[in-house]
Structure 1
């Protein structure tokens, strides 16, 4: 299995921020975690509110811990609210069911980390995360 490097994590952040600025997104916080949910890189744009990095971390951690992008988790939660509420309680609320948490995969398809983005709409956050992953030459989870 490949390890997510600092250089790759920084490339994800640069790519995500470039996508955000190209679409005039609200200021973002971006967190990149390795496969063990350890932080590799974090950025908070000027003007991003101080909870944004925690929300981004909850998105990335949730994707890793549940094995799916947070868009998928949100869809599953809508159909099984009791279970996903229990997950949130079990984790002390450290999971976010909103798009913007995306698994990062190596060329072989193995999960090597996750990126979480928070600051704009869930759709925008997710689009920026995906742009960052592509900019780093890595893959994301298939829908």
Structure 2
């Protein structure tokens, strides 16, 4: 039986984690505004996700409002995307979805998650996923 399509690619996840580990999140400067917007969205979801991990480690809970995460961690939110956060007692999900515009059908959405893994080290795991198709579809939770 096939697993359901979760709308994100494992290859992107692995490359994103490698980029996060090295701190090198910039795409080459091609002048392509779509690529620049996509890169800015990736940087935003990466900072939001890392901010949630840090906040939980320091406070024992997750931030539930985009404005709080933006202010607390200096996250720049590109205007070409919409943002939302959903929290539970065990996880925080940060959604970065193309805003309605003439280019929204060319941009891909992201979801970042910070979740508690009580029997593992580190105690909080983070992941970033990108939709495989462009558009305004919210990514499935990882």
* TM-score past 0.5 threshold: no
Task: Return the TM-score normalized by structure 1.
Answer: 0.37
Higher relative contact order (CA 8 A, sep 6+): 1
More helix by share: 1
Larger Rg belongs to: 2
Task: Return the TM-score normalized by structure 2.
Answer: 0.37
